[in-house]
Amino acid sequence: MGESVAGVAANVAQQAPAIDVDFALIGHQECWRAAADVLAVLRGPEHPPLPDDEIRDIFPWIPPRAICHVEAGSIAGGKARGVYIDSFIPPDRLDANYMRDNLARVRGAAAYAIKAGAKIVSLGGFSSILIEGNLDQLPERHGTVFTTGNTLTVGFIVQGIKKMCALEGRNLRRSTLLIVGATGDVGSGCARCLAPVVKRVLLNARNMERLRTLAAELEADGVQVEIATGLQQFSAEADVAICAASLASPSLLLGRIAPGAIVCDAGYPKNLSPSGQMAGAKIFFGGLGQITGGLRFKPDFQGILNRHPFPDVVHGCLLEGMALALERRFEPFSQGRGFITPERVEEIETIAARHGIFLAPLYNADGPVEDGVECLAGWSAG
């Protein structure tokens, strides 16, 4: 007998665990397959999987809620306890048309984190983009602080670019670097970290005024900069590209890049369109770290909330909150847009490394990009 949409949504919404937490992670699912897996765990193994169309009907009716406990271990000893709160934004509703509903969802998730007594909250993926400028509209915070997690994300993107260049025998100093979404929090942080070590930078976003402001800042430090709102307008091809635009779905076509260019897709959801033709490009997913002191979810969402081919890999934005919780440094480390500097990146990387949080092995849709790195059993490429 079929279950009603309202019935399933109410059942899933009720099962909030009792919580006692250092940190909260606010997230949303990147694709419908991930959303279906989350629902399956919440409903329990006694319920058969729901058909795809029912999942799409039910999902928007589930309010933001905690779905599991998270325990993060440090290599220095000690643990931090947290909770993962899903805002249940339907994966195909990230675009501007759903802005009000999505903002309400992230606010609901943030209120949940405050009520749970989280000392620090990491804002995953679009959560920080949506709530940016609206944090003052949250309920009274009682000591809960928020971090976008973007500083550690930038650190892992930059480390990934340097590692990929080393693996491919490329000289970053002779490279032209393209950043798509350059004026964003992640993009501008990457620009500040990498501009001093490349030959020149190409900055792309839609708003020309903001591009001019960033270009002026970099040029003042002697960087060679070109800006354009269209990717075809640049005078040179990029050898290295970072894709960090806030795109609602993987729709970016990079077009003209150098043959064999190194391309980092740091978007969540991914930026790059699967149909993009980039012959010989060395693509990897950026901004990911690995927590080597141990990571546990209860109930077990391993491989569902972190869908990567290696164990204990998590997005930098969420890891930043865990690293700060392990350090017992409950402060809004990353806040606002456009304030990420190389000094702050170094500071958060040092904190993360002290607790065993390092750059994750690099991979893309086909699997690992490094030789000799084993995938988790059961992980499927594509």
The footprint of ligand NAP on this chain (CB under 6 A) covers a number of residues equal to: 31
Nearest residue (CB) to ligand NAP, 50 versus 304: 304
CA dihedral 226, 227, 232, 238 (to 10 degrees): 50
Smallest distance, ligand NAP to C-beta of residue 48, A: 33
Indicate whether 153 belongs to the interface with ligand NAP (CB under 6 A): yes
Indicate whether 22 belongs to the interface with ligand NAP (CB under 6 A): no
The answer for residues whose C-beta is within 8 angstroms of residue 265's C-beta and 6 or more apart is 243, 271, 272, 283, 284, 285, 286, 364
Burial label, 237 (beta-carbon count in 10 A; 0-12, 13-18, 19+):
middle
Nearest residue (CB) to ligand NAP, 170 versus 210: 210
- CA distances for 177 relative to 75, 192, 285, angstroms: 35, 12, 17
Among residues 107, 210, 344, 355, the one that binds ligand NAP under rule CB under 6 A: 210
CA-based nearest residue to 93, from 111, 76, 109, 106: 106
Nearest residue (CB) to ligand NAP, 154 versus 325: 154
Nearest residue (CB) to ligand NAP, 12 versus 121: 121
Indicate whether 27 belongs to the interface with ligand NAP (CB under 6 A): no
Residues for the chain: how many in total? 382
Among residues 74, 128, 147, 175, the one that binds ligand NAP under rule CB under 6 A: 128
Among residues 102, 144, 204, 364, the one that binds ligand NAP under rule CB under 6 A: 204
Indicate whether 267 belongs to the interface with ligand NAP (CB under 6 A): yes
Residue type, 233: Q
Smallest distance, ligand NAP to C-beta of residue 153, A: 4
* DSSP codes joined into one string, 157-218: HHHHHHHHHHHHT--GGG-EEEEETTTSHHHHHHHHHHGGGSSEEEEE-S-HHHHHHHHHHH
Among residues 26, 80, 116, 129, the one that binds ligand NAP under rule CB under 6 A: 129
Nearest residue (CB) to ligand NAP, 126 versus 363: 126
Smallest distance, ligand NAP to C-beta of residue 185, A: 4
> Considering only residues 220-259, where is the footprint of ligand NAP by CB under 6 A?
244-247
Whether 246 and 184 have beta carbons less than 8 Å apart is answered as yes
Q: Where are the beta strands (DSSP E) in the chain?
A: 23-27, 65-73, 79-86, 120-123, 145-147, 176-180, 200-204, 225-228, 238-243, 257-265, 282-285, 288-291, 295-298, 313-315, 357-359, 363-364, 367-368
Among residues 29, 183, 306, 334, the one that binds ligand NAP under rule CB under 6 A: 183
Axis-axis angle for helices 316-326, 342-354 (nearest 10): 60
Indicate whether 185 belongs to the interface with ligand NAP (CB under 6 A): yes
Nearest residue (CB) to ligand NAP, 185 versus 327: 185
Smallest distance, ligand NAP to C-beta of residue 287, A: 3
Nearest residue (CB) to ligand NAP, 112 versus 268: 268
Nearest residue (CB) to ligand NAP, 27 versus 368: 27
Phi, psi (rounded to 5 degrees) for 354 = -60, -30
What does the alpha-carbon distance between residue 44 and residue 370 come to, in Å, rounded to a whole number?
Answer: 36
Using CB under 6 A as the criterion, what x/- string covers residues 279-318 for binding ligand NAP? --------x---------------------------xxx-
| Residue facing ligand NAP at closest CB distance | 184
What does the alpha-carbon distance between residue 251 and residue 354 come to, in Å, rounded to a whole number?
Answer: 37
Angle, alpha carbons 352-130-32 (nearest 5°): 85
Smallest distance, ligand NAP to C-beta of residue 171, A: 26
60-68, 164-172, 206-214, 273-281 -> range binding ligand NAP (CB under 6 A): 206-214
Among residues 84, 112, 126, 146, the one that binds ligand NAP under rule CB under 6 A: 126
- CA distances for 261 relative to 165, 205, 237, 275, angstroms: 10, 20, 9, 17
6-14, 198-206, 360-368, 371-379 -> range binding ligand NAP (CB under 6 A): 198-206
Instruction: Note the residues at the interface with ligand NAP (CB under 6 A).
Output: 125-126, 128-129, 150, 153, 180-187, 204-207, 210, 244-247, 266-268, 287, 315-317, 337
